[in-house]
Amino acid sequence: MPVSEEQVKDALKGVKYPGFSRDIVSFGLLKGIQIEGGSVTVQLALATNEPAIPQAIKTQAEEILRALPGVEQAKVLIDIQAPPAGAGGAAAGTTRIEGIKHVIAIASGKGGVGKSTVAANLAVALEKTGARVGLCDCDIYGPSISLMFGSRDRPTATEENRIIPIEQYNLKLMSMGFLLDDSAPAILRGPMVTRYTQQFLRQVEWGELDYLVLDLPPGTGDIQLTIVQTVALAGAIIVTTPQEVALIDARKAATMFEKVNVPVLGLIENMSYFESPSDGKRYEIFGSGGGTREARRLGVALLGQIPIDIATRESGDRGMPITAEKGDSPVAAEFMKIARDLRKALP
């Protein structure tokens, strides 16, 4: 009995796109299946400048197809296109969000590196330079932006069923945290997470913005893939801490963006050191030089080094990012420097 198209499609779901946790079917690469007796031909299409990626996909796909009962011969044809120019090196199939000039993703390979603190303070810093800024909390399962900005307001909707974002510190904000009670978890399967992510990006009344900052969840899962597949990103910023265990994961996050032709704008080393308030002595709790070495290895800029700071933690817990509450603090000054550098890179 010949193999069916559905069986071929299901088998191809076992082929992961190199560097990602999602398969090539979910990634939208499958364009056609042709079956003639025991011969199966599959047509794929992708945009990349890396020859190793299509070769790896072809090898793995043909191996999986040959293992199917009834398949005597398997051939995978790949239409390779050059990534389109513009939109910050955006991947094929992505589109701009109406009214938004630059979309910047704040990412990390692992949790616990202070990515949301960086995203919140960087958004405030960009606004302080005179830019129109929005901040979208894309961590559906673990939202924290609502806490960091101290708002318990609920978003409302327009007559056209578009979501009106919360406004704090002249920023437009959207987060699952605004929709849930403090103790209520977001119990959602993958397709619903993707749907919420798209709604936050496409159905929020962001208006005219110079920058929309996306606070991504850690890792390289469904949410990250949804964003890089559909949104024209100006670039990504990777947040890490100095120790090697964090740098390894930062490397993976950077590789993810590289594989989908999203430029990495730079790396921010958080928790770089602790300066004792009693004597001013500096303690490099998580090691030293890790961010500098990793930025050099990746060939990107080290945008800034943020210290471990009690006031920064207290401000975040109070719902007032330190860059807004204590603009004259050393941490706020570092975020302002990063923001000014970003404005030069993405005017």
| pLDDT tens per residue across span 8-26 | 999 998 998 776 666 788 7
Shared-domain flag, residues 167 and 308 = yes
Shared-domain flag, residues 205 and 322 = yes
Q: Tokens 């090898």, residue? A: 59
Q: CA-CA distance, 203 to 250, in Å (whole number)? A: 30
pTM of structure: 0.71
Domain boundary among 17, 46, 81: 81
DSSP letters for 54-92: HHHHHHHHHHHHHTSTT-SEEEEEEEEEPPPSSTTTPPT
Percentage of the residues of the chain whose pLDDT score is greater than 90: 37
Closest CA to 66 of 35, 39, 34, 97: 39
CATH of the domain at 28: 3.30.300.130
Sheet with 39-47, strands from edge to edge, namely 30-36, 39-47, 73-81
For 235: left if phi > 0, alpha if psi spans -120 to 50, otherwise beta; the answer is: left
Shared-domain flag, residues 141 and 38 = no
Domain boundary among 32, 49, 81: 81
Q: Are 48 and 93 in contact (CB under 8 A)?
A: no
Range of the domain at 38: 5-81
| Any domain includes 88 | no
Shared-domain flag, residues 282 and 194 = yes
pLDDT single digits (tens) 23-78: 788 767 888 999 998 999 999 987 776 778 888 899 999 999 999 999 999 999 99
Say if residue 140's pLDDT is above 50.
Answer: yes
CATH of the domain at 296: 3.40.50.300
Shared-domain flag, residues 197 and 295 = yes
Task: Grade residue 85 by pLDDT with cuts at 50, 70 and 90.
Answer: very low
Reduced to 3 states, what is the DSSP secondary structure of residue 277?
coil
The average pLDDT across 103-131 equals: 92
Domain boundary among 33, 54, 81: 81
Among the ranges given (44-53, 89-98, 193-202), the one the predictor scored with the smallest mean pLDDT: 89-98
Shared-domain flag, residues 125 and 233 = yes
Shared-domain flag, residues 57 and 172 = no
Closest CA to 17 of 9, 27, 7, 30: 27
Shared-domain flag, residues 73 and 104 = no
| Any domain includes 94 | no
163-164/133-137 β-pairing:
unpaired
pLDDT at residue 67 in the model: 93
Shared-domain flag, residues 262 and 176 = yes
Higher-confidence position of 93 and 103: 103
Shared-domain flag, residues 149 and 267 = yes
Q: CA-CA distance, 320 to 302, in Å (whole number)? A: 26
pLDDT at residue 118 in the model: 95
Q: How many domains does the chain have?
A: 2
